[in-house]
Structure 1
Amino acid sequence: MANQVALTSTHELFLGLPRFPGHETTPSLAHRTTDGTVAAFPGTSWNDWKRGDSGRDAFVYVNSVHAFADDTVWCVDQGGLRPDSAPKNLSTPKPGAQKIVRLDARTGAILDVLRFDDDILPAGARLNDLRMHGSTLYVTDSGLGAIIVHDTTTGKTLRRLSGRKEMLGTSTPTTASPTASASSGKTVNGHKTPKSDLIEISPDGTWLYWGSPTGPLRRASTRLLRDPGIADEQLAAHVEHVADIPLSGGCAMDTRGNLYLSDIDNHRIVLLPPSGERKILASNPGLISPDGSFISRDRHLYVPAPQTERTELFGNPKDLTSKPFHIYALALPTAFDGIALGAAVTGA
């Protein structure tokens, strides 16, 4: 069950495999080998976590996989199973278990492990997804709602807008795409109002975008986010509402500032250009719970379809997912319905 996908410039493909209910026995990170098979990556104890382990030096619950300009692989590990599907002793991260891990895409060597103290990750915080520009990492916290800003050169880290309304989502999805039917709400029924989850950064690194799966999409200046002299109260006044969005499992942004939203309820990809108009870029009944997408260097949009809405987590009496799990790829044209489309944003 893959809900995240990332590719290097040499087309090495990596998958994030979540430990959803009924899918706890799984490696967390996988690599597609040259012969097309998928194998755990790296081939070490990092994928051997089991209940009762500390999780400090193993993947527990990988929620995001991404690759940037340096072609290394970044993994966001929440360090505990989902709080809405596991008892507290398994959903509460043990010391050091919640982390960001950077790996060599060729050898699997662990290059960096980022762990944050309680000031940055207080109780209830859940690292969710990340983007990079230059030496700065931006990470969403979907547990309490926050943006974490980490300078990889100096090691300094800020926690911004923690728990503020700018980090919260609507309790129900907004039908905001053309000809969309009313949202079923099935993926939010019985769950808490979602917090900051989706994240993207503008190609020039000046704007950070975020939103909950139910929206809305917001943005703020990265200059302000990085400035410790600007208090959250001041920063909040500069947060902009960008758009209401359909229920979205993931997103990607290209070098022309177009946003590609995984529309869960309607099994499609919605294109949201800077102009604010909306287009249905692609639809396919196989896009079941489309999640964390990725634009490769050869301008293909990759979208995983993990079927999360068919798991017990969303009210099904038993797990209804069926194998094989699919990753879809779409070659991006230079333009679509009058909108110029760009290339991958790599954080360079």
Structure 2
Amino acid sequence: MPIARRDLLAGGLTAAALSTTRPAEAQADAAPAAAAAASTSRPAGAMELAHLVQAPSTPTGLAISRGGRVFVMMPRFNAEVPITVGEVAPDGSVTPYPSAAANAPDRSRPQSALFHVPNGVFDRDDSLWLLDAGLPEGKGPPVPGGAKLVQVDLGTNAVRKVVPLEAGITPASSLNDLRVDIRDGRALAYITDQGQGQEGAILAVDLASGRVVRRLDGHASTKSQKGIVKFVEKRPVMLRPPGAKPQPVSGGANGIALSPDGRRLYYAPLMGRRLYAVDTASLLDPEASDAEVAAGVEDLGEKGLTGGLIADSRDRVYLSLQEHNAVGRRDPDGTITVIASDDRLVWADTFWITPDRWLYVSAAQVNRRPEYNGGTDQQTPPYAVLRLRIDADPV
């Protein structure tokens, strides 16, 4: 990346200056310092601990209301996960939301039960939208009728609307992330499907009519890219069943972000180092063929291995740099800067930007789950939610 090249150049220039402008004895004294300067990475900004969440399971998703209410989403990686959506109290405890009954994965009421919610977001009216992938055991075909968007009214804590997603999924779907765009007479949603194998896709949803379109199914930009290994906490993340050979992890279209004007969708595979963008109008255009949509995909280049993404009002995309316990930022000109890092940011996952210009990010500890550690659960609750100040507003 450009930033790494600048770091290397800076280190080389520093060493060169020390060796050419000082006398020999000074050069000898300065050599250890020069070596240290050349080998030390550029420091990133500090992060502040915002919450310690006593979640009963891995909290990948995060959403914060304008009034400061904090919600976490805990996908049902298996049937033992007790709840999939919770509200975080000031003391860090988590209460099922919108109710314990709603969190019961009841196959007999697929439109009202919450099965597997990896993420949720607030719209501009501060209404909470939950993405349910319909996977009560984290894998296998989604429960018929279980994949949906659920709109919850914060004032009453009651479900206001359910939008079925059945028309956009496949038996191998694993819906992952969500952006909602309600303004100027439009009501739209965009969803990533990372799949349960190598294939991925993007779903575009007209929230008013309920129309769902599956786009970029199996396209190179939504596929899990082969030959990639993610390193988190200095260890390769591999599926490690007890007594079996480690297997590579796969994951298609995962994080997404919406441009300030809503005209561009940024996205990336979980297992992929490149960032992509597509024109949102084409996704729901009934006249646009799949080939035409695919032809409009932009490859925005290298961005590291990430989970969640988010854009700010200046059209800068924030990157959860999972291999580095860090947060990156991609400017519109393509420049990527590491703006913060923290050892507590283990498996940086979902971002949220609040109106007072705090950027929040969840530390989900996914790499410590049993499936990546020979059946041993190495997660250490409470889970951290960290934050840092930024100089822009939410989209």
Question: TM (normalized to structure 1)?
Answer: 0.85
Q: Deviations over 1:261-303 (max 9, x none)?
A: 1111111111111121121111111111111111112111111
Indicate which of 14, 17, 21 corresponds to 2:71.
Answer: 14
Judge conservation of contact 2:121–2:180 (CA < 8 Å) in 1.
no
Please say if 1:203 is aligned against 2:203.
Answer: no
Closer/same/farther in 2, CA of residues 324 and 160 from structure 1, 3 Å limit: same
Superposition pairs for residues 57-76 of structure 1, below 5 Å?
57-76=112-131
Which of 368, 372, 384 is residue 310 of structure 1 equivalent to? 368
Match of 2:141 among 74, 83, 92: 92
Aligned to 2:168: 120
Judge conservation of contact 2:229–2:248 (CA < 8 Å) in 1.
no
% identity of equivalent residues: 28
Query: Residues 302 and 181 from structure 1, CA distance in 2 versus in 1: closer, same or farther, beyond 3 angstroms?
Result: closer
The residue type equivalent to 1:285 in the other structure is D
2:111–2:162 CA contact under 8 A, matched in 1: no
- Flag the 1:55–1:322 CA change in 2: closer, same or farther, 3 A: farther
Looking at structure 2, the residues matched to 71 and 137 of structure 1 have their Cα atoms a distance apart, in angstroms, of 15
Check if 1:138 corresponds to 2:217: no
CA deviation profile, 1:247-274 (whole Å, cap 9, x unmatched): 2121211011111111111111111111
For 1:174 and 1:272, how far apart are their aligned partners in 2?
23
Query: Residue 174 of structure 1 contacts residue 244 of structure 1 at CA under 8 Å; is this kept in 2?
Result: no
- Compare the two structures and name the one with the higher helix fraction: 2
Cα deviations across residues 307-326 of structure 1 (Å, max 9, x unaligned)? 11011121344001112111
Q: Give runs of aligned pairs for residues 197-346 of structure 1, distance below 5 A.
A: 197-215=254-272, 216-332=274-390, 334=391, 342-345=392-395
**1:103 shift after superposition:** 0.6
How many angstroms apart in 2 are the aligned matches of 1:187 and 1:291? Answer: 18
One-letter amino acid of the counterpart of residue 160, structure 1: R
SS at match of 1:302: strand
Whole-Å separation in 2 of the counterparts to 1:310 and 1:255: 34
CA distance in 1 between partners of 2:229 and 2:366 (Å): 20
1:40 aligns with 2:96: yes
Structure number with bigger Rg: 2
Q: Does residue 186 of the first structure (1) align with residue 242 of the second (2)? A: no
State how far apart, in whole Å, the 1-side matches of 2:233 and 2:113 are: 41
Shift in CA distance, 78/181, structure 1 to aligned 2, threshold 3 Å? closer
Kindly provide the CA deviation profile for residues 56-96 of structure 1, in whole angstroms up to 9, marking residues without a partner as x: 4221111111112011111111111465xx6xxxx332211
| 2:238 and 2:249 in contact (8 A); partners too | no
**Residues 76 and 116 of structure 2 are in contact (CA less than 8 Å); yes or no, is this contact kept in structure 1?**
yes
In the alignment, is the contact (CA less than 8 A) between 1:247 and 1:264 conserved in 2?
A: yes
Distance in 2 (CA, whole Å) between partners of 1:40 and 1:198 is: 25
Cα contact 1:249–1:292 (8 A) shared by 2: yes
CA 1:77 to 1:217, structure 2 compared with 1: closer, same or farther past 3 Å?
Answer: same
Relative to structure 2, which stretch is displaced further, 201-210 or 214-223?
214-223
> Does the C-alpha gap of structure 1 residues 58 and 284 become closer, same or farther in structure 2, counting only changes over 3 Å?
same
Q: Is the 8 A contact 1:7 1:296 kept in 2?
A: yes
> Which runs of 5 or more structure 2 residues have no equivalent in the other structure?
1-57, 240-245
Contact 1:171–1:194 (Cα < 8 Å) also in 2: no
User: Which residue is 1:339 aligned to?
Assistant: none
- State how 1:21-32 maps to structure 2 within 5 Å: 24-32=80-88
* Contact 2:229/2:237, CA 8 A, preserved across alignment: no
Q: Letter of the 2:393 partner, please give it.
A: A
Gapped runs of 5+ residues in structure 1?
335-341
Distance in 1 between residues matched to 2:310 and 2:320, nearest whole Å: 9
**Aligned-pair RMSD on alpha carbons?**
2.6
User: In the superposition, relative to structure 1, how do residues 185 and 257 fare at CA in structure 2: closer, same or farther (>3 Å)?
Assistant: farther
1:229 aligns to what SS in structure 2?
Answer: coil
Give the direction of change, closer, same or farther, for the CA distance of 1:28–1:186 in structure 2 (3 Å limit): same
> Which residue of the partner structure matches residue 129 of structure 1?
177
User: Distance between the aligned counterparts of 2:385 and 2:322, measured in 1?
Assistant: 15
Secondary structure at 2:87 match in 1 = strand
Task: Identify if the C-alpha distance between structure 1 residues 172 and 104 changes in structure 2 by more than 3 Å, giving closer, same or farther.
Answer: farther
Could you tell me how far 1:53 is from its partner in structure 2? 6.5
